[in-house]
Amino acid sequence: MSPWKQVALLAKREFKERATSKPFLITMSILVLLILAVGPAVNLLVSDETEATQIGLVGEEPTSIEPALNAQAAVFEIDIELIRYPDRAAAETALTEGDVAVVLADGSEIVFHTDVSSRLSALVGGALNTAVKADGLADLGLSDDEIAVALAPVPITVITIEEEDVEEDAKRAAAFVGTLALYISILMFGQFVAMGTVEEKQNRVVEVILSRVRPWQILVGKVVGIGLLGLLQLALLAGAAYLSAQMADIADVDLASIGLPIIAAMFFWFVLGYSFYAFLYAAVGSTVSRQEDLQGAMMMPIILIVPGYLLALVAAENPDGLAPTIGSMLPPWAPFVMPVRIASGVAQPWEILVAVVGTAAAAAALVWIGSRVYSGALLRTGGKVKLLEAWRAASE
């Protein structure tokens, strides 16, 4: 039987036992449902603005105010609905209660509640202007068609010389969410590795396993099995986020297509970052004998991870800063900081190369160091084994 077949069996057990455990299934169901709910929820929040704008009319008014308002609304690309009120008081009440956004009173006053909307003000004012002119032209004996031609709105194109990149912000936000997910995943699955290691030491099953396989096989099997579970969880969450983004109907921003490269990047950096931290977690996990002692031992990887996350936050604001630039190339932090800088479009190809190669090399070194500490500490029970002691014990 080849050692790798045994590693595969060990990884399969880790994956299967955890993936079918109730806590995992429940947590995943809740998270997926929550994420799926975000898209439709965004629509609900945004949809109010897309409803027709109510415009109140009261008192005397130019005869052709209605077609004029509709024509203006078409120019402004706003859906409007006209409501007539019997008297000024009724119209103001409607304004106060929010039933209408604006009231045109007596063909001469544009009334708002508290805030003046310059857009609506321009719309109603323009319409009023047109309607009064149309009425005058009608009095001069022009036919409706002639009036329409005379008063046809000039087609004006409004442009900006530089395009506002609505996607820029969306990209950065998505990269931020991605980094957060990455940070949480690495922390969570790294801790699973440490906890699994202590668990096997604490309930002594490790000696039963060690009579069949070498320590490095247990270590690699555990890291791979739990890592696959991490990828499964990321895939489920990313899939839910993608569906949710497709359900969300936000004008001009195609969330789903922005999300895809971010999701792909997240998988890539998870594999790198997890490889680095999982072996570190396994090594520190193997040095303690009881879950109660684990919290203290896990401080070391956490102390390494947290600055990475903080640097990612800095990078989101200032991707070209000195600290984020350096941090994005150093192995412990590259997996968190570099994706944000890549999403911001400032990362140079050589910087990305340094980050990837450096992190991969550091992860490989940790496989070796971690395995050795793990081997040396695995059969030592009762109390905490110092890292250096475990390192030396491995050669015994």
Those residues whose C-beta lies under 8 Å from the C-beta of residue 31, and which sit 6 or more positions away, are 236, 237, 240
Residue 386 is a binding residue for another protein (CB under 8 A)? no
- Structure tokens given for 274: 């997890």
Specify the residue, 6 or 179, whose C-beta has the smaller distance to another protein: 6
Residue 133 is a binding residue for another protein (CB under 8 A)? no
Q: Say how many residues touch another protein, by CB under 8 A.
A: 23
Residue 25 is a binding residue for another protein (CB under 8 A)? no
Residue 56: strand pairing partners: 83, 103
Q: Which of 36, 83, 111, 213: binder of another protein (CB under 8 A)?
A: 213
Those residues whose C-beta lies under 8 Å from the C-beta of residue 335, and which sit 6 or more positions away, are 182, 186, 269, 270, 272, 273, 276, 308, 359
Cα 110 vs. chain centroid, distance in angstroms?
43
Residue 104 is a binding residue for another protein (CB under 8 A)? no
Residue 117 is a binding residue for another protein (CB under 8 A)? no
Residue 205 is a binding residue for another protein (CB under 8 A)? yes
Residue 351 CB, shortest distance to another protein, in Å, is: 44
Specify the residue, 84 or 204, whose C-beta has the smaller distance to another protein: 204
Q: Does residue 139 contact residue 64 with C-beta atoms inside 8 Å? A: no
Residue 203 is a binding residue for another protein (CB under 8 A)? yes
Contacting range for another protein; rule: CB under 8 A; set: 9-17, 103-111, 128-136, 357-365: 9-17
Q: Which residue, 341, 338, 344, is CA-closest to 360?
A: 338
* Cα–Cα distance for residue pair 21/27, rounded to 1 Å: 10
Contacting range for another protein; rule: CB under 8 A; set: 25-33, 43-51, 185-193, 212-220: 212-220
Contacting range for another protein; rule: CB under 8 A; set: 1-9, 77-85, 161-169, 323-331: 1-9
Specify the residue, 199 or 293, whose C-beta has the smaller distance to another protein: 199
Q: Does residue 189 contact residue 228 with C-beta atoms inside 8 Å? A: no
Residue 28 CB, shortest distance to another protein, in Å, is: 18
Specify the residue, 229 or 334, whose C-beta has the smaller distance to another protein: 229
Q: Which of 28, 148, 195, 209: binder of another protein (CB under 8 A)?
A: 209
Q: Which of 17, 106, 169, 249: binder of another protein (CB under 8 A)?
A: 17
Question: Which runs of E-coded beta strand occur in the chain?
Answer: 53-58, 80-85, 102-105, 109-111
Residue 381 is a binding residue for another protein (CB under 8 A)? yes
Specify the residue, 1 or 140, whose C-beta has the smaller distance to another protein: 1
Look at phi and psi of residue 159 and say left if phi exceeds 0, alpha if psi is from -120 to 50, else beta: beta
- Structure tokens given for 53: 């704008």
CA-to-CA dists, residue 9 to 28, 62, 214, 368, angstroms: 25, 84, 13, 21
* Residues contributing to the site for another protein (CB under 8 A): 1, 3, 6, 9-10, 13, 17, 21, 203-214, 379, 381, 396
